[in-house]
Amino acid sequence: FLQNLSQTPVLRELLKEAKMPGTTVKIESPELSMLCCFSFKQEPQLIKLDQPGPLTLAMHQFLTEMQETKKGVVTPKELFAQVCKKAIRFKGYQQQDSHELLRYLLDGMKTEE
């Protein structure tokens, strides 16, 4: 799922902007702009970003490494450590469902807003 998240342009852009607190970002949905022939059009959302938390910063760092690294293998050690701080159930490397980890990751980043 981390590879899928790394290919989500809106997420990558938001995380890049999140490093600069106080920035206001405009989010437009390209899918909705294609629906212009219909009678509705969604306005872009403006979001003011606060200081990013440690989980958000770890996610940004990990996705940056995935996009820019040439070494081939990237490990999410710091990102996983930050997830474990928010969700103790993942400590100990016991087998967990990936969708649960994804939920805790995204919920954890959301609470850092």
| Per-position DSSP letters for 34-90, written without gaps between them | TTTTSS--PPPEEEE-----HHHHHHHHHHHHHHH--SS----HHHHHHHHHH-GGG
Q: Is residue 88 in a domain? A: yes
| Residue in 9, 16, 15 with CA at minimum distance from that of residue 31 | 9
Q: Is residue 41 in a domain? A: no
Q: What is the pLDDT of residue 38?
A: 52
| 65 pLDDT higher than 60 | yes
Q: How many domains does the chain have?
A: 1
| 25 pLDDT higher than 70 | no
Phi-psi region of 22 (alpha: psi -120 to 50; beta: other; left: phi over 0): left
Q: Is residue 3 in a domain? A: yes
Q: Is residue 64 in a domain? A: yes
Q: Is residue 28 in a domain? A: no
pLDDT digits (tens, 9 = 90+) for 69-105: 676 788 889 998 998 888 887 777 666 678 888 888 8
Domain residues for the domain of 85 are 1-21+51-111
| 36 pLDDT higher than 80 | no
Dihedral over Cα of 26, 31, 37, 42: its sign: negative
Confidence of residue 40 (pLDDT cuts 50, 70, 90): low
Q: What is the pLDDT of residue 16?
A: 80
Q: What contacts 24+ positions apart, CB below 8 Å, involve 42-47?
A: none
Q: Is residue 86 in a domain? A: yes
Name the more confident of 24 and 110: 110
